[in-house]
């Protein structure tokens, strides 16, 4: 019987190996057939198509289309594209300015020169409309193309010509490109008695050192409670996230592990040094744009019962990418594994391999998520990102507020305001007065600002449907009355939403004088979610109660 069993096991094992080899052979044959098909199609396209095609352009279109159907994180970067380096290191070579397209000017404009960069030191200002770069007119060029023209090798020079409000003639600036290091910690400081605040914007190279410096400085200044803000943080390197977790938890703790198709993709990440602070109560702020490494940090601190997470559910990116060289020095960033945080859960929310009936990416419904447990026994779930311990939604805004804030008209007003005011109060104290707001409203009216009427768009669809069904004529009067009722007076709308628009105006103005650090500091004045975090930290009993293990 033992001999028969042994032979049976050998047969089963051999049969399994044979099936595996057959599947691999079939898979390789499928790849070969499709590559031959692609090669045949392109060669016929090149031979017979009415116009001559660029192989570089056409093949890149094909690559981009193919990768877009895998997941949004798998991307190809040609040799001359430095976006990948910037994502990994937080560095790029250029002049150090944020630009955006001005629709009325049909040109890119500078909306924020970073402090201490070539653009700021040379005298470029927010609101400057870019006319030429090295003599090349940039009218109607997309911001991506203008951005590429501004970037280049460190030490190289360029000349930028701009039109500035209030100046009759164009202004010319000679700048020398340099390596720009984007700060990971945009702002930190003591915002109350014993209360520290850190805004961590990314997990790029060196972010752990910046966090360590900020944390040590705040502790030296008497910090007893901390708000760690990860809102709108898109993530970055796993190593940086693990090392930042290590600042708050003991050595030797498993923070995250990865699992992929290949054994080489499987890794475990532990804390490797003594922590800097294991006692200070922490509230971590997150929102739907907190992703990747930001979810590793917030989720790990939640799983270890080291911090209370507050805000809205995070993005839900539980995938890990790696960089592979391809072709002639190009790079492919591709998804190689999923990651799992200390409780053992993977928080991936989107299933990119199975689309819904209407072609959208499906998400894991709450009913299908599984229960996991924090170190102390609190329930947490996988799928769908990090669910905060305390839900805290920001106030919803009327569409007119969004349209006004995003308009070129508001930026033009701020530019004019800055020209009329050499200095303003500090970020924590600055206020935009009622008289000044009245001037802003009149400025917007004079510029003929018109918000995007969503109700008007819906009404047009309804009107077209009525015409299609042949009932429009008898309902025409009702449509006209509804259209008049939906039309708003811009001046009265801007005045009605004064309390919603004013903080954004103040933030933009403060940024012109005090740059990113000033904006981050000033934003806290009107941040209701931050206020809730402060109140929680002040209530020690409630804070501990949230982290307390359930009775068994």
Structure tokens at 126: 């927010």
Active-site annotation holder among 303, 408, 500, 507:
303
Place of tokens 């900020």: 214
On whether the CB atoms of residues 281 and 214 are closer than 8 A, the answer is no
Going through 307-364 in order, the beta strands assigned E by DSSP cover 308-311, 319-326, 330-340, 350-355, 361-363
Active-site annotation holder among 202, 292, 298, 407:
292
Same domain, 356 and 419: no
* Residue 73 included in any domain: no
Same domain, 267 and 320: yes
The DSSP code sequence of 362-431 is EE--GGG--EEE-TTS-EEE-SSSPPPSEE-PPPP--HHHHHHHHSHHHHHHHHHHHHH-S----TTT--
* Residue 345 included in any domain: yes
* Residue 58 included in any domain: no
Give residue 232's region: left, alpha or beta (phi > 0; psi -120 to 50): left
| CATH number of the domain within which 126 lies | 2.30.42.10
Residue 91 has a pLDDT of 76
On whether the CB atoms of residues 339 and 257 are closer than 8 A, the answer is yes
As a whole number of angstroms, the distance between CA 79 and CA 330 comes to 5
On whether the CB atoms of residues 109 and 128 are closer than 8 A, the answer is yes
* Residue 378 included in any domain: yes
Count CB-CB contacts under 10 A for residue 380. Answer: 23
On whether the CB atoms of residues 497 and 401 are closer than 8 A, the answer is yes
On whether the CB atoms of residues 97 and 118 are closer than 8 A, the answer is no
* Residue 26 included in any domain: no
As a whole number of angstroms, the distance between CA 463 and CA 536 comes to 51
Structure tokens at 205: 């190279």
**448-455 LR contacts (CB < 8 Å, sep 24+):** 449/404, 449/407, 449/409, 449/490, 450/490, 451/399, 451/400, 451/403, 451/404, 451/488, 451/490, 451/493, 452/399, 452/403, 453/486, 453/487, 453/488, 454/399, 455/486
Same domain, 409 and 359: no
On whether the CB atoms of residues 185 and 214 are closer than 8 A, the answer is yes
Cα 67 to Cα 36, 38, 60, distances in angstroms: 19, 15, 10
Q: How many residues does the chain have?
A: 552
pLDDT tens track for 152-167: 989 999 999 999 999 9
Residue 112, classed as helix, strand or coil, is strand
Helical ranges in 223-360 per DSSP H: 238-246, 293-303
As a whole number of angstroms, the distance between CA 177 and CA 153 comes to 7
As a whole number of angstroms, the distance between CA 437 and CA 500 comes to 12
Q: Which helix (H) or strand (E) holds 267?
A: strand 267-270
* Residue 3 included in any domain: no
Same domain, 105 and 144: yes
On whether the CB atoms of residues 184 and 202 are closer than 8 A, the answer is yes
Same domain, 359 and 269: yes
In sequence order, the 6+-apart residues with CB closer than 8 A to the CB of 442 are 491
Query: Which of 375, 393, 411 corresponds to the end of one domain?
Result: 393
As a whole number of angstroms, the distance between CA 375 and CA 306 comes to 10
Same domain, 416 and 531: yes
> For each of the chain's 552 residues, which pLDDT tens digit applies?
666 555 565 556 566 666 666 677 778 888 999 999 999 999 999 999 999 989 888 998 999 999 988 899 999 988 767 677 777 677 788 999 999 999 989 999 999 999 999 999 999 999 999 999 999 999 999 999 999 999 998 999 999 999 999 999 999 999 999 998 889 999 999 999 999 999 999 999 899 999 999 999 999 999 999 999 999 999 999 999 999 999 999 999 999 999 999 999 999 999 999 999 999 999 999 999 999 999 999 999 999 999 999 999 999 999 999 999 988 778 999 999 999 999 999 999 998 877 766 667 878 788 888 999 999 999 999 988 999 999 999 888 888 999 999 999 999 999 999 999 999 999 999 999 999 999 999 999 999 998 887 787 888 888 889 888 888 888 888 888 888 777 778 899 999 999 999 999 999 999 999 999 999 999 999 999 999 999 999 999 999 999 997 765
Same domain, 210 and 284: yes
Same domain, 230 and 355: yes
pLDDT tens track for 230-253: 999 999 999 999 999 999 999 999
Count CB-CB contacts under 10 A for residue 441. Answer: 20
Count CB-CB contacts under 10 A for residue 153. Answer: 9
> Active-site residue 317, yes or no?
yes
> Active-site residue 254, yes or no?
no
Same domain, 104 and 237: no
- Residue 447: exposed, middle, or buried by beta-carbon count in 10 A (0-12, 13-18, 19+)? middle
* Residue 15 included in any domain: no
Query: Which of 149, 181, 213 corresponds to the end of one domain?
Result: 181
Same domain, 117 and 249: no
| CATH number of the domain within which 374 lies | 3.90.226.10
Domain count, the chain: 4
Active-site annotation holder among 317, 333, 387, 525:
317
For residue 466, the enclosing domain spans 454-486
Same domain, 159 and 277: no
Q: Cα 343 to the chain's mean position, in Å?
A: 26
Same domain, 377 and 300: yes
> Active-site residue 292, yes or no?
yes
Place of tokens 């709450």: 366
Quote the crossing angle between the two packed helices 434-446 and 408-420, to the nearest 10°: 130
Q: Which helix (H) or strand (E) holds 436?
A: helix 434-446
- C-alpha count within 13 angstroms, C-beta hemisphere, residue 399: 8
As a whole number of angstroms, the distance between CA 318 and CA 340 comes to 8
Query: Which of 347, 375, 393 corresponds to the end of one domain?
Result: 393
pTM of this structure: 0.87
* Residue 78 included in any domain: no
């Amino acid at each position: 019987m033992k001999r028969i069993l042994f032979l049976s096991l050998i047969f089963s094992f051999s049969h399994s190996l044979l099936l595996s080899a057959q599947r691999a052979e079939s898979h390789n044959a499928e790849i070969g057939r499709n590559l031959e098909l692609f090669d045949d199609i392109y060669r016929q396209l090149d031979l017979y198509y009415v116009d001559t095609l660029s192989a570089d352009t056409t093949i890149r279109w094909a690559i981009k289309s193919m990768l877009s159907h895998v997941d949004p994180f798998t991307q190809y970067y040609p040799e001359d594209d430095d976006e990948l380096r910037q994502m990994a290191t937080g560095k790029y070579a250029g002049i150090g300015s944020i630009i955006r397209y001005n629709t009325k000017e049909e040109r890119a404009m500078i909306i924020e020169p970073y402090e201490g960069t070539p653009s700021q030191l040379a005298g470029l200002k927010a609101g400057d409309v870019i006319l030429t770069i090295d003599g090349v007119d940039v009218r109607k060029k997309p911001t991506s193309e203008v951005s590429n023209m501004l970037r280049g090798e460190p030490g190289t020079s360029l000349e930028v010509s701009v039109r500035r409000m209030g100046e009759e003639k164009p202004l010319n600036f000679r700048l020398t490109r340099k390596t720009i290091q984007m700060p990971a910690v945009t702002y930190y400081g003591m915002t109350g008695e014993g209360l520290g605040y850190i805004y961590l914007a990314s997990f790029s190279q060196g972010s752990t050192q910046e966090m360590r410096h900020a944390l040590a400085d705040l502790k030296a200044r008497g910090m007893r409670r901390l708000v760690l803000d990860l809102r709108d943080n898109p993530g970055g390197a796993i190593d940086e996230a693990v090392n930042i977790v290590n600042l708050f938890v003991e050595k030797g703790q498993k923070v995250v592990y990865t699992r992929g198709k290949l054994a080489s993709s499987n890794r475990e990440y532990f804390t490797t040094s003594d922590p800097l602070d294991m006692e200070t109560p922490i509230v971590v702020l997150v929102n739907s744009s907190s992703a990747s490494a930001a979810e590793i940090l917030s989720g790990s601190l939640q799983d270890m019962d080291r911090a209370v997470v507050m805000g809205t559910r995070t993005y839900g990116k539980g995938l890990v990418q790696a960089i592979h060289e391809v072709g002639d020095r190009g790079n492919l960033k591709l998804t190689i594994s999923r990651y799992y945080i200390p409780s053992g859960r993977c928080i991936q929310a989107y299933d990119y391999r199975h689309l819904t009936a209407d072609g959208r990416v499906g998400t894991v419904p709450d009913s299908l998520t599984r229960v996991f447990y924090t170190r102390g026994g609190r329930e947490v779930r996988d799928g769908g990102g990090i669910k905060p311990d305390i839900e805290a939604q920001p106030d919803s805004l009327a569409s007119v507020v969004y349209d006004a804030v995003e308009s070129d008209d508001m930026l033009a007003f701020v530019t004019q305001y800055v020209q009329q005011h050499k200095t303003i109060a500090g970020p924590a104290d600055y206020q935009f007065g009622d008289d000044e707001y009245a001037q802003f409203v009149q400025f917007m009216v004079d510029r003929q600002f018109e918000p995007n009427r969503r109700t008007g768009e819906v009404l047009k669809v309804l009107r077209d449907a009525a015409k299609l069904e042949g009932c429009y004529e008898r309902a025409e009067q009702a449509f006209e009355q509804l259209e008049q009722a939906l039309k708003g007076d811009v001046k009265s709308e801007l005045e009605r939403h004064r309390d919603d628009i004013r903080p954004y105006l103040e933030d933009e103005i403060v940024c012109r004088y005090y740059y990113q650090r000033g904006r981050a500091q000033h934003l806290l004045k009107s941040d209701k979610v931050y206020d809730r975090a402060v109140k929680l930290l002040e209530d020690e009993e409630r804070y501990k109660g949230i982290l307390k293990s359930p009775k068994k």
